[in-house]
């Protein structure tokens, strides 16, 4: 008997789909990529070449939804971390590319660096609920033209789980593919293993830029999966009602599916959402609020409506420091996505509206993920949990401490035993120095960073990646 939630009824899902089809046809979607417009026009979309708006008919949406794979495996550099999609359980991705990082030693909030990124993904390796890594902060110390490559490849070097990031321009694609081939072996292995995917955010409202779009079309030859992540914000880049903002985000997701399936039918896609909410008092973008996760969880439901692997942004916070607000917001933005059985929840490790990486927060969020999973598991009513005979045997006034079933259940998944939460008596807690969850998380982070690197790349591959990055720095900087 699982604990679940219904955010959208089947009728409401159909309404969102029908409204989205109307948006795609009547409003259309603007594509700044000439390559994308040609693909759409050849497939039957009505294209206004002057405004670059393509009106997408329903039959084209249906056709491309049919070719999109309903399942595939997110590969990993270490194949023991390969993960099937759709997922049998809700699992987690790291939050991506914050501008800032909090220095683990000094506590200073500053622009993120490659070293912060390296440390972040090493800690993520220890988060057992995490299956997809994302560079957790931008590398302010990397060259502009090749920065996404440095971020992507640093992640793949220090984390052997599946890696997800973005490329910004077609000229970055050859270097990225060369690095994947260095790690995997050859073109076929890159296609088959799928150790990395790319995230694609349509530009709200209803637009696609040229450079990223073309880069991802080029990556289609290698079947690199795409995580489609619309980000309309209520009242600014999207309408001011949750329902209508979901419709717009769904239309943006469908327009992406149409494009990338037309270009390469059968290419793996993940249907996602990072819809936000407007702070009407300040004009700021909010994520750590109920309205955000209601939208992203609803979009995960829409992903399932289309039979696609899905992800929902969650476990996020607008708090400016770790503590009570961060934990409250992360719980309320995680649980709804878990209760609708989203395949992946994207957001662990950061606060400040996903703009500040804090290493110990990665492990705290992993703990939150475990608590939410236990709630979702609900009450197991299987025969193994039917202990009525014990009740009858113990009878009035007895106790169950000596019962064999108590020993068995205490060591089973009936009870989640936390890694960070402090449950000692008050006196023992004082004797330990009054630790809280963050104190215990910091101890674990320090232990991780002082331990040998897990799954290091072979030295010859590492040197090849260094050479690829040197060449990218030289060539891409010259093009700026």
Alpha-carbon gap, residue 340 to 296, rounded angstroms? 11
Taking the C-alpha atoms of residue 344 and residue 91, their distance in angstroms, rounded to an integer, is 5
Domain 65-377 class in CATH = alpha beta
For residue 416, count other CB atoms closer than 10 A to its CB.
Answer: 14
Q: 3-class DSSP state for residue 132?
A: strand
Q: Cis check for the bond before 50: say yes or no (omega within 30 of 0).
A: no
Contact 347, 354 (CB under 8 A): yes
* Cβ–Cβ under 8 Å, residues 233 and 275: yes
CA distances from 424 to 372, 374, 401, 429, 436 (A): 22, 21, 19, 6, 11
DSSP letter at 104 equals T
Strand order in the sheet with 29-31: 46-48, 53-55, 29-31, 207-208
Residue 190 CA to its chain's centroid (Å): 21
Rounded to two decimals, the pTM is 0.95
HSE, CB side, 13 Å, CA atoms: give it for residue 165: 29
Alpha helices in 98-172 (DSSP H): 114-125, 147-158
291-323 burial, b if ≥16 CB within 10 A, otherwise e? ebbbbbbbbbbbbbbbebbbbbbbbbbbbeebe
The tokens for 330 are 């992360």
Cross-strand bridge partners of residue 310 = 271
For residues 210 and 471, give the distance between their C-alpha atoms in angstroms, rounded to a whole number. 24
| Contact assessment for residue 137 and residue 112, using Cβ atoms and an 8 Å cutoff | yes
Taking a C-beta distance cutoff of 8 angstroms, is the pair 292, 7 a contact? Answer: no
Q: Residue ranges of the domains in the chain? A: 65-377
| Sign of the dihedral through C-alpha 174, 180, 186, 190 | negative
Q: What's phi and psi for 246, nearest 5 deg?
A: -65, -40
**d(Cα 294, Cα 261) in Å, to the nearest integer?**
28
- pLDDT, residue 27, reads 98
User: For residue 448, which of 125, 65, 161 has the smallest C-alpha distance?
Assistant: 125
| Inter-residue long-range contacts of 359-362, CB under 8 Å, 24+ positions, other chains counted | 359/102, 359/104, 359/119, 359/120, 359/123, 359/445, 360/104, 360/322, 360/438, 360/441, 360/442, 360/444, 360/445, 361/322, 361/326, 361/441, 362/94, 362/120, 362/123, 362/124, 362/127, 362/136, 362/445
- Digit-by-digit pLDDT tens for the chain (480 residues) are 799 999 999 999 999 999 999 999 999 999 999 999 999 999 999 999 999 999 999 999 999 999 999 999 999 999 999 999 999 999 999 988 999 999 999 999 999 999 999 999 999 999 999 999 999 999 999 999 999 999 999 999 999 999 999 999 999 999 999 999 999 999 999 999 999 999 999 999 999 999 999 999 999 999 999 999 999 999 999 999 999 999 999 999 999 999 999 999 999 999 999 998 988 888 888 999 999 999 999 999 999 999 999 999 999 999 999 999 999 999 999 999 999 999 999 999 999 999 999 999 999 999 999 999 999 999 999 999 999 999 999 999 999 999 999 999 999 999 999 999 988 899 999 998 999 999 999 999 999 999 999 999 999 999 999 999 999 999 998 665
Sequence-ordered list of residues with C-beta below 8 angstroms from that of 195, at least 6 positions apart, any chain: 75, 76, 77, 156, 162, 163, 180, 183, 184
CA–CA distance, 263 with 266 (Å, rounded to integer): 10
Q: What is the pLDDT of residue 115?
A: 98
């Amino acid at each position: 008997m699982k604990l679940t939630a219904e955010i959208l009824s089947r009728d409401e899902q159909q309404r969102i789909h029908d409204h989205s089809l109307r948006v795609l046809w009547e409003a259309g979607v603007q594509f700044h990529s000439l390559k994308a417009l040609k693909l759409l026009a050849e497939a039957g979309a009505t294209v206004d070449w002057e405004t670059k708006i393509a009106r997408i008919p329903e039959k084209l949406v249906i056709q491309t939804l049919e070719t999109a794979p309903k399942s595939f495996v997110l590969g990993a550099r270490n194949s023991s971390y390969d993960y099937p999609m759709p997922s049998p359980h809700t699992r987690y991705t790291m939050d991506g590319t914050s501008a800032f990082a909090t220095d683990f030693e000094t506590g200073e909030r500053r622009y993120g660096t490659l070293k912060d990124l390296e440390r972040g993904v090493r800690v993520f390796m220890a988060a057992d609920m995490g299956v997809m890594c994302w560079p957790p902060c931008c590398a302010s110390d990397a060259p502009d033209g090749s920065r996404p490559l440095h971020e992507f490849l640093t992640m793949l070097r220090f984390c052997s789980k599946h890696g997800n990031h973005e490329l910004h321009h077609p000229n970055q694609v050859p270097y990225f593919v060369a690095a994947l081939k260095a790690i995997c072996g050859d073109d076929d292995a890159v296609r088959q293993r799928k150790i990395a995917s790319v995230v694609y955010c349509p530009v709200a409202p209803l637009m696609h830029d040229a450079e990223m779009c073309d880069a991802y079309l080029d990556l289609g030859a290698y079947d690199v999966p795409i995580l489609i992540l619309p980000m309309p914000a209520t009242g600014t880049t999207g309408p001011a009602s949750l329902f209508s903002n979901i419709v717009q985000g769904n239309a943006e997701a469908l327009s992406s599916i149409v494009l990338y399936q037309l270009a390469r039918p059968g290419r793996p896609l993940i249907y996602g959402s990072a819809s936000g909410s407007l702070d009407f008092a300040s004009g700021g973008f909010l994520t750590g609020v109920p309205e955000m996760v209601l939208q992203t969880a609803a979009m995960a439901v829409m992903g399932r409506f289309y039979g696609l692997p899905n992800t929902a942004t969650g476990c996020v916070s607008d708090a400016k420091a770790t503590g009570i607000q961060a934990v409250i917001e992360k719980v309320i933005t995680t649980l709804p996505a878990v209760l609708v059985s989203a395949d992946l929840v994207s957001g662990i490790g950061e606060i400040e509206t996903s703009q500040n990486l804090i290493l110990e927060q990665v492990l705290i969020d992993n703990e939150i993920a475990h608590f939410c999973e236990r709630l979702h598991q609900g009450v197991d009513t299987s025969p193994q949990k039917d202990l009525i005979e014990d009740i009858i045997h113990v009878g009035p006034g007895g106790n169950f401490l000596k019962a064999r079933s108590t020993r068995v259940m205490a060591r089973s998944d009936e009870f989640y035993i936390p890694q960070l939460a402090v449950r000692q008596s008050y006196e023992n807690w004082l004797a330990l120095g009054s630790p809280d969850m963050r104190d215990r998380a910091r101890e674990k982070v320090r232990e991780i960073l002082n331990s040998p690197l897990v799954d290091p790349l072979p030295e010859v591959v590492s040197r090849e990646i260094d050479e690829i990055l040197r060449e990218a720095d030289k060539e891409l900087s010259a093009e700026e």
